[in-house]
Chain A
Amino acid sequence: MPVTFTFGEFLGARSVIGSTLAELGETHENLWVITPDIGATLVEFRDKFPERFLDVGLAEQASVGVAAGLAYDGNIPVVSGMLPFLSMRALEQIRTDVCYPNLPVKIIGTHGGLVGNGGSTHYAVEDLALMCALTNMTVTSIGDPLMVGEILRQSMAMQGPLYIRLAVGKKDKVLYEPGQHDIRIGKGIVARQGTDVTLFTHGTTVAQALDAADELEREGASVRVVDMFTLKPIDADLIAQCAEETGGRFVVLEDHLAYGGLASRVADVVADRGIHLTAFERLGIPQVYAGFGEDEQLRDKHGYGLSATVSALRRALAAR
């Protein structure tokens, strides 16, 4: 069933995953869906293609190892689950069984960042650092629910592994109208034009970044928002271009450890290319186990909520 939506409204990324996989199952007879007991949103695929749906039960290592075996056999396996477990419990299988032989296995999951109020066992906050370290891995983090479908479609033609990170995926703001941006893996999206400072972000915090830019606009500042949904390979040219066009002022905002995620990826490009910056601010999760609370409360508590973002932008704008 096609997903209907309205720009600015909320939609579950999970339902987009479910319907997109069911659609892709028609055109790709070698598409398999594997899950370690997180199958509720995959019902449409399961019902249409029961012979290509595999729920391994609570066995993350097996889910990825079996997916690698299926890929060796010429299939396109998508492993869908919760990222705190897939990214850590099955890390070695992802690295050794999937990335080492460069197999076309997609890992897609939820609970990236301090989302879902499950406590620190259930937040994937180190996952992007881990995945970006893996040779052959392409790493994405997606905020706009409809983009998930687009990325899944594009991924069918990819040769190597892909990691797709989502928030809880039950209620996500539709950020972009279809066709508004050229969405391509490896290319950042300029979600909002601006000339004074660039705010880089990905995933759950794109919506917050756009709100912060609105607030700064009322103060007369022009904030460029870049949705850097592909962390690896990073769009280094866009980073260089933003440095040039927004006065060398960078703020990076992400729902991930402040060190090891997008901020570190951007800093690497800055260092490697010898880019001169006027300001560099990073907003993300500090080295704490975050505790309970609603998503917004946790972001505020840990220093990367909306007001902290606005303050960081002001600091960057004031830098000389």
Chain B
Amino acid sequence: MGRTSPVTQERRSVEELEDLAFELRQKLLNLCGTYEGAVHIGGDLSSADIFTALFEYGLNVDPTNLANPTRDRFVLSKGHAAVAMYIAMAIKGFFSYDGIVDTYGQLDSAYGMHPCKVQLPGVEASTGSLGHGLPLAVGMAMGARGRGATHRVVTLMGDGETGEGSVWEAALVASSNKLGNLVAVIDRNRQLMTSFDEERVTLEPYTDKWAAFGWNVIHVDGHDMAALVEAIDSLPPTDSDKPTVIVAETVKGKGVDFMEHNLAWHAGSLGAADLERALAALEATRTKENV
């Protein structure tokens, strides 16, 4: 029998998850304020709610048992969002946040711009070159199927990287092999590094493309935690016969008004003044939501 619903040690409420996503963004900004180099802050912020929903709700992972064979596998295909993943994993208990902030990007640190499995246990795959995560996840899902395992394999891609042909090669392999244990989440923030989606490359009709490739498509607001939770709850059983894509509509830079929809914040660093401004902007979103 396949699994039908996410298994987590504790079922978090939407409100708790929203708080955790806020904490992730706050910690992310603080790291950007500490680290002198550039951080891919725009795509980190667009995927912050997704990371929280996955690590705190959807994924069956246990920081105290990294080698558990029945754990869900998570592959970060948009490897440039590594910082957001490190922090989400730190909040979950995999790493210490201070350890990340203190060493990020430094010589011999395990925490760098793109995740490395060899240097950082707990990370499932070394990624960073775009368009590589889905094929890896397909292989992991095939392997799980082959030995009758019932865990899920989940990968997070950026929408921009689905311009890579390797994504669509793997999409065909996944549907042809009926990988119902595979979930691709797409952070559809509609921005590439130097342009807005649809400006130079037309991805729309986007969900139709995935459906045409034989995938089960879930289309959600990627910043609506209740919707993300519902999407996770509605995932088909792992022994079903279609891979699922969750197309999550997001905003690059989400949570910091001056970074939203702004190409300048694909990657950047924050000085003390910017950090203060960014934290205040983030705080304002919470006040607004609470009103």
Contacts and interface: CB of A to CB of B under 8 A. Distances in A.
Q: Which of B131, B137, B143 has most chain A Cβ within 10 Å?
A: B143
Contacts of A32: 142-143, 146
A51 B146 contact: yes
A68 B173 contact: no
Interface stretch (B43-51, B117-125, B194-202, B236-244): B117-125
A31 B129 CA distance: 27
B139 A66 contact: yes
A73 B140 contact: yes
Interface stretch (B27-35, B163-171, B250-258, B276-284): B163-171
Contact of B172 (A59, A74, A92, A96): A59
Interface in A101-125: 101-102
Nearest to B138: A66
Contact of A66 (B124, B129, B135): B135
Contacts of B125: 68-69, 72, 101
B144 A62 contact: no
Contact of A56 (B134, B140, B169): B169
A49 to B, nearest CB: 10
Interface residues of B, number: 32
A69 B169 contact: no
B191 interface: no
A101 B126 contact: yes
Contacts of B140: 69-70, 72-73
Contacts of A69: 75, 125, 135-143
A56 B139 CA distance: 11
Given A62-B135, A72-B136, A72-B139, A93 B166 contact: yes
B132 interface: yes
B136 A68 contact: yes
Interface in A83-108: 92-93, 96-97, 100-102
Contact of A73 (B129, B143, B166, B172): B143
A61 interface: yes
A286 interface: no
A34 to B, nearest CB: 9
Contacts of A73: 73, 139-140, 142-144
B60 interface: no
Contacts of A57: 172-173, 176
A40 to B, nearest CB: 19
Given A61-B166, A62-B138, A101-B117, A70 B143 contact: yes
Contacts of A61: 131, 135, 165-166, 169
Interface of B: 73, 75, 116-118, 124-126, 128-129, 131-132, 134-144, 146, 165-166, 169-170, 172-173, 176-177
Given A32-B143, A65-B135, 9 more contacts: A56-B172, A61-B169, A68-B135, A69-B75, A70-B140, A72-B139, A96-B126, A97-B126, A97-B135
9 closest pairs, A vs B, by CB?
A69-B139, A65-B135, A73-B143, A62-B169, A59-B169, A66-B139, A69-B136, A61-B166, A70-B139
Interface of A: 32, 51-52, 54, 56-57, 59, 61-62, 64-75, 77, 92-93, 96-97, 100-102
23 contacts: A56-B173, A57-B173, A59-B170, A61-B165, A61-B166, A62-B172, A64-B135, A65-B135, A65-B139, A65-B170, A66-B135, A66-B142, A68-B125, A68-B136, A68-B139, A69-B141, A69-B142, A70-B142, A72-B139, A75-B146, A96-B126, A97-B135, A101-B118
